[in-house]
Amino acid sequence: PRIFDADEVEELSEQLGDGIYGETDSSILYYDPICTDVVETLRDSIKVSKNMIDNLNDYNNMLQHNEAVLTDSTRKNFLREQVSQSNQNKAMRHLSRSLRFFYDEEYRNALSEVNFAIELNPNLAIAYGRRGSIYYKLGDNRRATLNWNVALQLDPEFTEIYDMLQAADENRLKPVEIGKIQENIK
């Protein structure tokens, strides 16, 4: 160990004050450079640990934000699904009414109900199929064919529409006469 003389001890005591080295013997002062290195290493370790904690806190905040975004997105999708289901139910009620009007040969009322159904859900192939049939009954083959083709685009497996298009091409379907249409309008 390094031996300090009395003057050096007094000078170090003044520099260190009343801290842990305030009253010490010369053997402890020998270990001061080693202790300083250890303390610095520990301080560095504490800084690294603090940075790791800060990084983990930031990562945790990011995860919480992502969770909030996903929760909001899930709620949004759930609400959209509820609105879609509600619109689907309303559209089906209008389609049901249109079928009733169609069988009663009230084609204009049936067309109006089908149009409401399409407004609520523009992806219903059956609505376009029904509207095509109504137009055909009204004598408008061009609109009938157009709506039947839209129905097929929405649902290519809608086999009844293929039958309707083939029957229309072969003139096996009989549109309503013009006089009967005007009676229904009145």
Residue 117: give its domain's CATH number.
1.25.40.10
Is 113 within the bounds of a domain? yes
Residue 63 lies in a domain: no
- Residue 79 lies inside a defined structural domain of this protein: no
What local confidence, expressed as pLDDT, does residue 181 receive?
37
CA dihedral 160, 163, 167, 170 (to 10 degrees): 160
Q: Are residues 44 and 98 in the same domain?
A: no
Computed over every residue of the chain, the mean pLDDT equals 81
Residues 156 and 93 in one domain: yes
Q: What are phi and psi of 130, to 5 degrees?
A: -65, -45
Please check whether residues 155 and 96 belong to one and the same domain. yes
33: containing domain: 6-54
Instruction: Work out the percent of the chain whose per-residue pLDDT is above 90.
Output: 49
Model pLDDT for residues 60-111, shown as the tens digit of each residue: 999 999 999 999 999 898 888 888 888 888 999 999 999 999 999 999 999 9
Query: Is 94 within the bounds of a domain?
Result: yes
**Are 32 and 99 members of one domain?**
no
Structure tokens at 22: 């305030």
- Judge if 45 and 88 occupy the same domain: no
How many distinct structural domains can be found in the chain? Answer: 2
Query: How many C-beta neighbours within 10 Å does residue 82 have?
Result: 10
**Residue that the structure tokens 């059956």 belong to:** 126
What digits encode the pLDDT tens for the residues 154-181?
999 988 888 888 888 777 665 544 334 3
> What pLDDT is stored for residue 163 in this prediction?
85
Per-residue confidence (pLDDT) for residue 178, from 0 to 100: 37
| Domain finish residue from 54, 76, 92 | 54
Q: What is the pTM of this model?
A: 0.54
Element (H, E) at 17: none
Residue 135's contacts (CB-CB under 8 Å, 6 or more residues apart) are: 111, 141, 143, 144, 147
Separate counts of helices (H) and strands (E) for the chain: 8, 0
Residues 23 and 90 in one domain: no
